[in-house]
Amino acid sequence: MEFVRYSLEDGNMNGLHHRFIQPPQAAYFVTTCDALGNMNTTPVTMGTCIAHNFFSFTLSNLHTDAQEWDLDKNGWKDGIKQGYANLREVKECVISYFGHNMVRESWIAGCPLPKGISEIDVMGCTPLPSTVVKPCGIAECPINLEAKVLHVHRLGARWTNYICEIVYASVHRELVERNENGPLAGYGLLNIDPVFEVKIASGDTPETSSYRLYYDRLDLSKIERCPEDIGYDADWIGTFSQWLDSEVGHGHITREEACRALELKARWDKDRDPRTNGAVKEELTRLLRKAVGGSV
């Protein structure tokens, strides 16, 4: 199998297409405000939520040099991303997920409106007053997440990365009910028919020669459950010994082999250096490969 190899250490992509690193992510709006209360809404497809109970949301935006920022007495220079400028003044935002029905509005929000003019108003949408933060949400978006910026990091020559804490959520009641009882119960965001930016390119006709975003949607008919013939049977992942018991039940390994695997694991746990304990690692690996139905 042949690989094309790219070095990114110098900050240059060196021919690597960015979609090999940055997969398509569900699109959303980020609404910010300046110190005067003027709102800006930006369509974003970079960033995602991690953790559980405490929700940390990471998103990115274009920045500019501080020296360039100071050129204008009003703290603004044409061409600077308004969301970036606002987050320098008010470190709060609202993340609003939108579905396929708002693709047109997302394109309008990306147009170069003058600073201080609300994209929400121009889109013809309805501001949704926030409970905790200063920026508003968007009433037409079924999910609005109020967030406070915890950390700001410069990324290379053009980007700023924001790590935010989600402090409040507003979800359409219909969506809550659909997520509890509908055909996609428990799927959350997928119930809004989200869109994913896949590329930026021109069209293939004279009428579509200008550059536009291309969105894709999930094919829900392809949702697939993980196989039943491997893994812990009773619950989620289970412990090592519980998993081995299930693989004995699946007929992949014998009870004696499961006991041998437990013995080898205990020996490996005492010395995980492959140079001094390589034989144990190799035998344990062979047994575990057999446990998942693989060839030995």
Mean pLDDT of all residues in 247-261: 97
Q: What is the pLDDT of residue 67?
A: 45
Q: E strands, 16-156, where?
A: 28-33, 39-44, 47-50, 56-62, 92-97, 127-128, 137-138, 143-155
155 against 39, higher pLDDT: 39
Every domain of the chain and the residues it spans: 18-222, 240-291
Confidence of residue 70 (pLDDT cuts 50, 70, 90): very low
Q: What is the pLDDT of residue 77?
A: 58
Confidence of residue 147 (pLDDT cuts 50, 70, 90): very high
- Per-residue pLDDT tens for 85-104? 899 899 999 999 999 999 99
Distance CA 168, CA 37 (A): 20
Per the DSSP assignment, residues forming a β-bridge with 95 are: 30, 145
Confidence of residue 72 (pLDDT cuts 50, 70, 90): low
List alpha helices for the chain, DSSP H.
66-69, 82-89, 103-109, 119-123, 173-181, 240-249, 255-270, 278-291
Fold of 18-222: Pnp Oxidase; Chain A (2.30.110)
Q: What is the pLDDT of residue 279?
A: 97
**Residue 26 pLDDT > 70:** yes
Mean pLDDT of all residues in 287-295: 92
Q: What is the pLDDT of residue 75?
A: 54
